[in-house]
Amino acid sequence: MDDMDFPTPDVEIESVTPTELKGRIDAGEDVTLLDARMESDYEEWRIDGETVESVNVPYFHFLDEVIDDDVLAQVPDDREVTVLCAKGGASEFVAGSLKERGYDVHHLEEGMNGWARIYERVEVERYDGSGALYQYQRPSSGCLGYLVSDGDEAAVIDPLRAFTDRYLEDAAELGVDLQYAIDTHVHADHISGLRNLAEEGVEGVIPAAAVDRGVTYADEMTLAEDGDEFQVGDATIETVFTPGHTSGMTSYLIGDSLLATGDGLFVESVARPDLEEGDEGAEDAAKQLYESLQERVLSLPGDTLVGGAHFSDSAVPAEDGTYTAPIGQLEADMAALTMDEDEFVELILSDMPPRPANYEEIIATNLGQQETGDEEAFELELGPNNCAASQESLAGD
């Protein structure tokens, strides 16, 4: 909708940046949003929060000079309203139409595209391995990544292509040299930053088990086999093969303290098993996932932290603001982790959410089988990740 040329409002419209809006939400302020995108886009992906009230009134309702009273009745007139759209054009126009009618409004700069550019680095305070560990958080899609640094070296796990420069800037800020860029698997919801970082001189690492899927650039990367170790100063990153979500799904144990589980296990859910082999192979993959969780993950000490590659709206952050939790806590809280195999498989297959948007093109790009420009890559990964099984049925009572 923002490809349209909207009339310039006759009144001055103030704006709020995505970072400012997130700061208000994080601070627990009451926020009222008017989302002017189409209903289908709104239902698939929107800004939520405990203190966020959101209404959806598509922009086309405001194109006529006389706006229907029923439309205006949907817009709160007793508080400040932030209007948003996809890229910022329609929201400024809608905000202008409302301000002319006496509403207290402003609009979100760059819309949901701007929201998708928020990327925060939060220290994992409970990490007790060598050096420091940070979790990257992308609130728009729930993507998570990790940066471990020790001495003058660092490694990033599950980097996003859209933030290639950010990792290099953060390494410079921390006074470290980024040695490794490591992927846990062939991602289906976002474009990996591995090859871009490799072009900047960072050693790229992919799971050896993922190569069979048709990775075209494997000879340019270091292949991680189960049990392999990578040194970052005095911190050790150990490869732990955990297939199930994909055939090559691999976790990495950082400093014997946190297991970066990729899409195998999250703090509120477990992986979905159907994105590689489809519905036909989902049952076998679910069985493989069960074995990986029971034998490779839950066998670790209970105080080992788990940090997945995603978080959902139902995830509750730890006291340090990261989406991490001890294995023992997850085992106590998540019924799926204490079931027998048959129960687990039946549960996982019973209620899977829609597949991630554009996942086939994203997978092809991550395999190197398809060339995708930076802007197209960014557009492909907008929206929810949907890489987990349904959260509603997985938690304990």
CATH number, domain with residue 51: 3.40.250.10
**Same domain, residue pair 230 and 357:** yes
**Same domain, residue pair 107 and 131:** no
Domain housing 227: 120-380
Region 367-389: what's the mean pLDDT? Answer: 88
**Same domain, residue pair 155 and 87:** no
pLDDT of residue 17: 97
Please check the confidence at residue 295 and state whether its pLDDT lies above 80: yes
Whether residue 66 is contained in a domain is answered as yes
Active site residues: 85
Judge contact between 324 and 146, C-beta under 8 A.
no
Q: 395 - beta bridge partners?
A: 334
The answer for residues whose C-beta is within 8 angstroms of residue 166's C-beta and 6 or more apart is 119
**Same domain, residue pair 193 and 228:** yes
Give the total number of structural domains in the chain. 2
Please check the confidence at residue 199 and state whether its pLDDT lies above 50: yes
Please check the confidence at residue 356 and state whether its pLDDT lies above 90: no
- pLDDT bin (cut points 50, 70, 90) of residue 277 is confident
**Same domain, residue pair 153 and 51:** no
Whether residue 7 is contained in a domain is answered as no
Please check the confidence at residue 249 and state whether its pLDDT lies above 50: yes
**Same domain, residue pair 82 and 159:** no
Q: What is the CATH number of the domain that holds 279?
A: 3.60.15.10
How confident is the model over 110-136, as pLDDT tens digits? 999 999 999 999 999 999 999 999 999
Task: Order across the sheet with 177-182: list the strands.
Answer: 120-123, 132-138, 143-150, 153-157, 177-182, 203-207, 222-224
Whether residue 2 is contained in a domain is answered as no
How far apart (Å, rounded) are the C-alpha atoms in residues 210 and 214?
8
Whether residue 287 is contained in a domain is answered as yes
pLDDT of residue 396: 43
pLDDT of residue 196: 97
Positive or negative, the CA dihedral 327, 329, 330, 331 is positive
pLDDT of residue 351: 74
**Same domain, residue pair 205 and 299:** yes
**Same domain, residue pair 54 and 141:** no
**Same domain, residue pair 192 and 275:** yes
How far apart (Å, rounded) are the C-alpha atoms in residues 16 and 11?
16
Please check the confidence at residue 2 and state whether its pLDDT lies above 70: no
What letter represents residue 372's amino acid? T
pLDDT of residue 96: 93
pLDDT of residue 4: 61
**Same domain, residue pair 104 and 131:** no
**Same domain, residue pair 245 and 328:** yes
Mark which of 115, 140, 171 sits at the end of a domain. 115
- pLDDT bin (cut points 50, 70, 90) of residue 58 is very high
pLDDT of residue 355: 80
